[in-house]
Chains A and B, each alone.
Chain A
């Protein structure tokens, strides 16, 4: 009986590998957004949801860029302003402002962005490494994607969700 099971499992494993080869291997799906002047992107699978801004609660004793916590269907989630985190000045939230809720493992947080651009499919071969000047493990930049005339900075979700204070 257990042999059969093993067979099935191994079969499934093979199938998955095949799927991987067919699709996700050479194309990555990203969601692009603007902060300040730059376009950034994160993998679509890391995004739990994108919502319009709504009220949040300030939290004391945290860096400025952690603007507070908000209630997402019963869960209390931290809210981080990426403008402030990236050293830009604060901007009043407008019609295009969105909260992007990202998840990595058990870590979850909402990020304030200036506006969304689009869902991006990009070939892996079109993604270059982060510029030499900012490499090392500390960087938030996963790579730089080139598409037509645009350059998109791809961010590491796990780094974004890492507490650095």
Chain B
């Protein structure tokens, strides 16, 4: 019934539109009776309405339109000249048609209007006797949908037998359709007649009246009151009431719609975008004014206005966005059929359960998700659901279930596709990918199950042993990923072997306006779509480690790769910021990446603008937006950023630390700072004595651990370290290795001072990052010259 309702909706919308047009055309036709183009157009309208109404079992409407069609057909073929008299009848019939359509809209049935008179007039015009009986349900009540016009039974075919020879193929087809229709109606009535026994012989009388009254009937009489005459209502009361409830509820209320060119909506959306920008600007100005004139009375008023404007703008934006929304059902509708076909093709038993089809999504996005869903569902059918025997053996229901549902989650819509098939086998996926050369063995080992699942999106990946019609070319899932990412969506896969797979597509509601996190690096700002931001953390720069030339940090239990936004966007780093940095943790499906930025500016609603043809395709930039101050801010393309990040060398802090060293101009000898790390107090004193004459600042530590703590505390900016090798708690090698993990100490000269003289000791020293190797005993001059050399001691301080 729901499907029927939908078709009915479409039919009504279409018919009303056609009829609207028809009126205009007919009026023009009257002044221009020879215009074949117009006649053809009008004829087609009648024909279309007839075809659709017969399909929908609206017999009265079909009957009427059929005769209209006859007349118009004759006129079209030049057998009939449209005189004003004839036009009157045609117009009358059109009015009737409108009335019928209205009745259908209100009650889902086409009873209640007497068309017999008009039909007979039409018939006369088209050369018939005028004595036509139709399936007219003169007294009909809305509920009579089920008891479809029993009168038809009495209809004698001869009475309005059209001349088949004169018919165009179209007409013939329509006529056949109509006859079939009548036949079905008859059968139905016979059946019902049996059930209803005597009861349903209701309408003999009125029908007879129509028959005996071929004389013109005043048009005014046509919209017969819809309220049923008491008699039949009483007669039918027992079952009529029960049935009446249902159709009445479902009464096809035509959505009051107008069709609007998408371009106009886009334009409207652009204007709203401008308004949002202006709103942001207003808020910014308001903040500035508030700061400057704190406590002034007018501020409150200004505040009110600003908040009203911003509220209304937001509402307006939502309202316009809604006009662009379509239910996702438009996409879902094609899947039951697809599953049915696949069931046959694959010899599997499958069932599709759809829910949430009324969830709405921006039109442009609805268009983008269709293809990915096809691929995902096909994939579930082909790879997910097992053949019935296997399922039974595994103790599952023979019929596999695929659930397709959509729901809203915050600012996103989630489309979830669950199957209860065999699930994804992470190890198998890894093995396949390695075999196909998509990943290396070591990459495979390092992968979590979730990351392994997302391997199915790699281009060229397919687990299917053979390429079938359905899947196995290794293209489909790649398409899924590309398309979903195109609309800023993300895909999340969960799967358990033997239990099933669940895929979630998370898609933003709209493409034009998004929430973004604004970040700063040096003097520049960038906007990151908030949907991809998992969290932000403030870290001290010591927390950044280097592993295999890449910067990483520890975030709770995870190791997070880091990349500096400046390295991606080629930002010149002139000013070095503080000891602290912010890390924006970006998440895209299973991938995570930490983006180091200098400052977090805040969250803002931004309007995405294209950079235009000239600058399209800049890696890492998704577009631009205009900020409250009128400036342009680039929007980060998180998907591309993840890719770029893989190839960015860890320059994270080295540049800045060398820059920091340069900026810290040494103006006196005591600006130099050297740490002495030795467990022996005597040795420390010897070194101190040797270096003191230079006038440099000396800091002592008794072992590696203490040295590390002093370094981390950051109270001093060390230019070099003298490190003993043999120490309790932490030895010199370990200390050196630890120190080198910090980017900012990468270039800190470490000088080993030790009594170990073996070659292998020296080797280890070099390996752990020592730059000099001094063996005890040494002369004071030698030590100080080595230190001077390593800290670039300026000779003027000597």
Contact = CB atoms under 8 A, between A and B. Distances in A.
Contacts of A62: 615, 618
B615 A60 contact: no
B614 A78 contact: yes
Nearest to B270: A74
Nearest to A80: B614
A75 B623 CA distance: 12
Interface stretch (B330-338, B394-402, B604-612): B604-612
A68 B631 CA distance: 12
Nearest to A55: B631
Interface in A30-89: 55-62, 66, 68-71, 74-78
B632 A69 contact: yes
Interface in A88-124: 106-109
Contact of A163 (B569, B610, B613): B613
A76 B611 contact: yes
Interface residues of A, number: 24
Nearest to A107: B613
A56 B634 CA distance: 11
A155 interface: no
Contacts of B614: 78, 107, 109, 161, 163
Given A56-B632, A59-B634, A76 B626 contact: yes
A76 B618 contact: no
A70 B632 contact: yes
The main secondary structure of chain A at its interface with chain B is strand
Interface string A2-32: 0000000000000000000000000000000
A76 B610 contact: yes
Given A56-B632, A57-B634, A61-B619, A76 B612 contact: yes
Contact of B621 (A55, A59, A75, A106): A59
B443 interface: no
A76 B609 contact: yes
B570 A77 contact: no
Given A69-B632, A71-B632, A59 B615 contact: yes
B615 A74 contact: no
Q: Which of B570, B571, B613, B633 has the most CB of A within 10 A?
A: B613
A62 B612 CA distance: 14
Nearest to B630: A71
Interface string B614-640: 110011110110100011111000000
Nearest to B627: A71
B626 A74 contact: yes
Given A59-B615, A61-B570, A161-B614, A71 B631 contact: yes
A117 B620 CA distance: 40
B648 interface: no
Contact of A60 (B612, B620, B631): B620
B524 interface: yes
A85 B35 CA distance: 63
Contacts of B610: 76
B364 to A, nearest CB: 20
B533 interface: no
A107 B618 CA distance: 17
Contacts of A161: 614
B23 interface: no
B639 to A, nearest CB: 16
A59 B571 CA distance: 10
A60 B522 CA distance: 14
Contact of A57 (B274, B613, B623, B624): B624
Interface string B2-45: 00000000000000000000000000000000000000000000
Contacts of B619: 61
Contacts of B611: 59, 69, 76, 78
Closest 10 CB pairs of A and B: A60-B569, A57-B632, A76-B624, A78-B614, A60-B570, A76-B609, A71-B626, A71-B632, A78-B615, A69-B632
Interface of B: 273-274, 277, 524, 568-571, 609-615, 618-621, 623-624, 626, 630-634
Given A57-B524, A76-B610, 5 more contacts: A55-B631, A60-B618, A61-B618, A68-B632, A69-B611
